[in-house]
């Protein structure tokens, strides 16, 4: 199984600040055939199901604010929130979308000061 490692486990920032969080996979998520990275990011707010933010490592899902940006390739990926808003309070998960089982990272909890 591909192991997904997220860091930090939690972070606390003030509204308006820039945030970056990391996700590393134990194997490459790059499909050599089409050169696409199969990595997704989800946001889970308290009491809600996960919501897809980013897929293909960097493609924003329809309706997701452009302050959310995914980047990276191979085994190292980053989710950046350019200017954190109060409503971004959530746990953020990355997911291996490359090969079964589609494993998840343990999450990064974002708190707003």
Partner 1 sequence: QVTLKESGPGILKPSQTLSLTCSFSGFSLSTSGMGVGWIRQPSGKGLEWLAHIWWDDDKYYNPSLKSQLTISKDTSRNQVFLKITSVDTADTATYYCARRAGGRYDYWGQGTTLTVSS
Query: How would you write 6-52 as a 3-class SS string?
Result: EECCEEEECCCCCEEEEEEECCCCEECCCCEECEEEEEECCCCCCEE
**Which residue number, 82 or 103, has a Cβ lying nearer to partner 1?**
103
Determine if 60 is a binding residue for partner 1 (CB under 8 A). Answer: no
Q: How far is the CB of 67 from partner 1 (least distance, A)?
A: 20
3-state secondary structure of 72: strand
Determine if 106 is a binding residue for partner 1 (CB under 8 A). Answer: yes
Q: Using an 8 Å Cβ cutoff, are 69 and 21 in contact?
A: no
Determine if 1 is a binding residue for partner 1 (CB under 8 A). Answer: yes
Q: How far is the CB of 105 from partner 1 (least distance, A)?
A: 8
> Footprint of partner 1 on this chain (CB under 8 A)?
1, 38, 40, 42, 48-52, 55-56, 61, 93, 95, 97, 100-107
């Amino acid at each position: 199984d591909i192991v997904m490692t997220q860091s930090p486990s939690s972070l606390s920032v003030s509204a308006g600040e820039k945030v970056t969080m990391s996700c590393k996979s134990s194997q490459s998520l790059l499909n050599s055939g089409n050169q696409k990275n199969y990595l997704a990011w989800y946001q889970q707010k308290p009491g809600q199901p996960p919501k897809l933010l980013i897929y293909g490592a960097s493609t924003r899902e329809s309706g997701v604010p452009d302050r959310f940006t995914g980047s990276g390739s191979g085994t190292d990926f980053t989710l950046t929130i350019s200017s954190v808003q109060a409503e971004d309070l959530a746990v953020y998960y990355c997911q291996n979308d490359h090969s079964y089982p589609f494993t998840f990272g343990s999450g990064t909890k974002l708190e707003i000061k």
